[in-house]
Amino acid sequence: MKDYILVFGGGTLQCSIINRIKLAGYGSVVIDPDPNAPGKELADVFIPVGGQDYDATLEVAKKYSVKGVVTAATDKPILMMCRIAKDLGLPFPSYESCDTVLDKSKFKEFLKENNLPHAKGQMFTGEADVTPLDFTFPVITKPVVNSGSRGVIKAHNKVELAQAVKETLLHSRDGNYLIEEYIEGDEISVEALVQHGKLHVLQLTDKIVTPPPYNVELGHIQPSRFMDLKPEIEVLLQKIIDSSGLDHCALHPELKIDNGKITVIEIGPRLGGDFITSDLVPLSTGINMEDQLLKIATGREIELTRKEAAAMVSFFDFGEGFTVKNALDKEQILKDFPEITSLHLDKKVGEQINKITDSLNRYGHLILIGAHRDDLLEQKDKITVIIDQCLFGN
């Protein structure tokens, strides 16, 4: 009889781990509030369940005697997963540890109490008038609970701040938001696993983001330019693990690097999204993080044998208002550039190109593999020009 793993979420970003479950010889039980979620077609068992319906979730987990609980690229179900895993005695972080890092206000206090490098900030609720307060600009506004860069806005003065707060509140689930100092420097993420309280950093990832006021990720490249800081980053993150109690999970911290100084921005106790986990880490290290997370979730020891390569994802940004004139000749581009492992565009002929304000309204991507990161950046620029000419040329 097949053993089952419970997957929280059947969206596009969870499809890869659903496939890996099947390849690992398990059955997948996928739950999602959307009865037509994309993962429905991939799942062995698919059951529509509300995101806050604890009783229904526990009933499903018990019915199929699940051997582990997993998700990918989303924070939303994690606290529910903590409760289910505790009830069933499955490997997963505690509710308290996840709540500490997922609530951005609590996490900021945690970092402050433990004397760890962080952006200074303050939490506000609702449409409070913040303009009389004294801020050192620029600042960032962000929802206390959210992900995907939604509602994260940079403001340079009080006029921009007032508008930023209004827009951030549109993306706040509970009406709470942070105003925090803007940290200069380069953004990176860390792709890691935690088992038996020990941190295993698999890769560092450089980010490419939109210009202000929004802070949307337009690309990721591995390995990072800051690999020399990996030992220092490992020490910092192990302190966070030890102090918070996080264990038996993936870890996706986001950091700022400025002249060698590391600042912690936030941490997700989960796999990274944006194809970082599903594509880039396996391409650049030879390690499939999803497979290793399945081992953690089912109580087996991880195995980390790696290779060294480079990989990147670039999300298209052709500028706002242009109309697609021609269909993308995907077959020819893939033939001309074998280093492309994935190419996707959501826009059709006659459709307009929208402004990118968060991760949900991006409209296509390109994934590349190569020996060196600098070569990938050059190739990405070359391929993007060709695609631009194909779509918008006469």
Per cent of the chain over pLDDT 70 is: 98
Q: What is the pTM of this model?
A: 0.94
* Residues pairing with 5 in the sheet: 28
Residue 131: its pLDDT value, please?
66
pLDDT (tens digit per residue) in 114-131: 999 999 988 999 877 776
Q: Is the pLDDT of residue 52 over 70?
A: yes
pLDDT (tens digit per residue) in 314-359: 999 999 999 999 999 999 999 999 999 999 999 999 999 999 998 8
Q: Does domain 4-90 have CATH number 3.40.50.1000?
A: no
Which of the four pLDDT bands, split at 50, 70 and 90, describes residue 90? very high
Residue 200: its pLDDT value, please?
98
What is each CA distance from 149 to 4, 100, 102, in whole angstroms?
Answer: 33, 19, 14
Residue 249: its pLDDT value, please?
98
Residue 48: its pLDDT value, please?
98
pLDDT (tens digit per residue) in 174-233: 889 999 999 999 999 999 999 999 999 999 999 999 988 888 999 999 999 999 999 999
* Domains 97-104+184-308 and 311-392 are alike in CATH topology: yes
Q: Is the pLDDT of residue 150 over 90?
A: no
pLDDT (tens digit per residue) in 256-310: 999 999 999 999 999 999 999 999 999 999 999 999 999 999 999 999 999 999 9
346 contact partners, CB below 8 Å, separation of at least 6 = 363, 364
User: Cβ distance 22 to 1 under 8 Å?
Assistant: no
Per cent of the chain over pLDDT 90 is: 88
Determine how many CB atoms are found less than 10 A away from the CB of residue 147. 19
The domains of the chain are located at 4-90, 97-104+184-308, 120-181, 311-392
Q: Is the pLDDT of residue 146 over 80?
A: no
pLDDT (tens digit per residue) in 24-35: 999 999 999 999
Provide the CATH topology of domain 311-392: D-amino Acid Aminotransferase; Chain A, domain 1 (3.30.470)
Which of the four pLDDT bands, split at 50, 70 and 90, describes residue 148? low
- The span from the CA of 62 to the CA of 24, in Å, is 21
Q: What are phi and psi of 347, to 5 degrees?
A: -90, 140
Mean pLDDT of 150-170: 90
Which of the four pLDDT bands, split at 50, 70 and 90, describes residue 132? low
Residue 394: its pLDDT value, please?
59
Lowest mean pLDDT segment, chosen from 99-103, 118-122, 361-365: 118-122
- The span from the CA of 259 to the CA of 67, in Å, is 45
Q: Is the pLDDT of residue 149 over 80?
A: no
- The span from the CA of 289 to the CA of 304, in Å, is 9
Which of the four pLDDT bands, split at 50, 70 and 90, describes residue 173? confident
The CATH class that applies to domain 120-181 reads alpha beta
Which of these CATH numbers, 3.30.470.20, 1.10.8.60, 2.70.98.10, 3.40.50.970, describes 97-104+184-308?
Answer: 3.30.470.20
